[in-house]
């Protein structure tokens, strides 16, 4: 199984788990403490970041191709996407960064892509 498929499968699994967690958290009785609402927001942030990671990976596949996309890892925290790994050319790396920046919800992109 390719790295992209494994990454996408893992991200989708995380989304499903987080969705169930959010669903359960939203059914908590009224009067819960502020700590509970901060947990909920951290879960929502995690789900949002996981969704952005998946969207960015999909854009990388479309813009630079599946083989090149498997060479780049994508992590997201607070809407900031970090691209790390290897590209065959500076143009390929620049296209990957541009693709990530074009995904709705991405606040910033950190480029840690190295040339092979």
Residues 21-30 have pLDDT tens digits of: 444 444 444 5
Q: Which of 24-33, 46-55, 58-67, 80-89 has the lowest mean pLDDT?
A: 24-33
Domain boundaries, the chain: 3-115
**Helix (H, G, I), strand (E, B), or coil: what is residue 71?**
coil
The reported pLDDT for the residue numbered 38 is 62
Q: Which of 23-27, 31-35, 42-46, 52-56 has the lowest mean pLDDT?
A: 23-27
The reported pLDDT for the residue numbered 20 is 45
Percent of the chain residues topping a pLDDT of 90:
59
Of 92, 110, 88, the C-alpha closest to 101 is 110
What is the Cα–Cα distance from 19 to 12, expressed in whole angstroms? Answer: 10
Is the full-model pTM beyond 0.75?
no
**Helix (H, G, I), strand (E, B), or coil: what is residue 103?**
coil
For tokens 């947990």, the residue is: 39
Q: Mean pLDDT across the stretch 62-78?
A: 95
């Amino acid at each position: 199984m390719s790295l992209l498929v494994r990454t996408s499968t893992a991200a989708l699994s995380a989304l499903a788990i987080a969705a169930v967690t959010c669903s359960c958290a939203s059914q908590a009785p009224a009067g819960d403490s502020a700590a509970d609402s901060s947990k909920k927001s951290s879960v929502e942030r995690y789900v949002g970041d996981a969704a952005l990671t998946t969207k960015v990976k999909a854009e990388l596949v479309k813009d630079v191709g599946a083989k090149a996309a498997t060479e780049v890892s994508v992590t997201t925290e607070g809407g900031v996407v970090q691209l790390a790994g290897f590209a065959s050319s500076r143009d390929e790396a620049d296209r990957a960064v541009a693709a990530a920046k074009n995904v709705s919800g991405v606040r910033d992109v950190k480029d840690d892509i190295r040339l092979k």
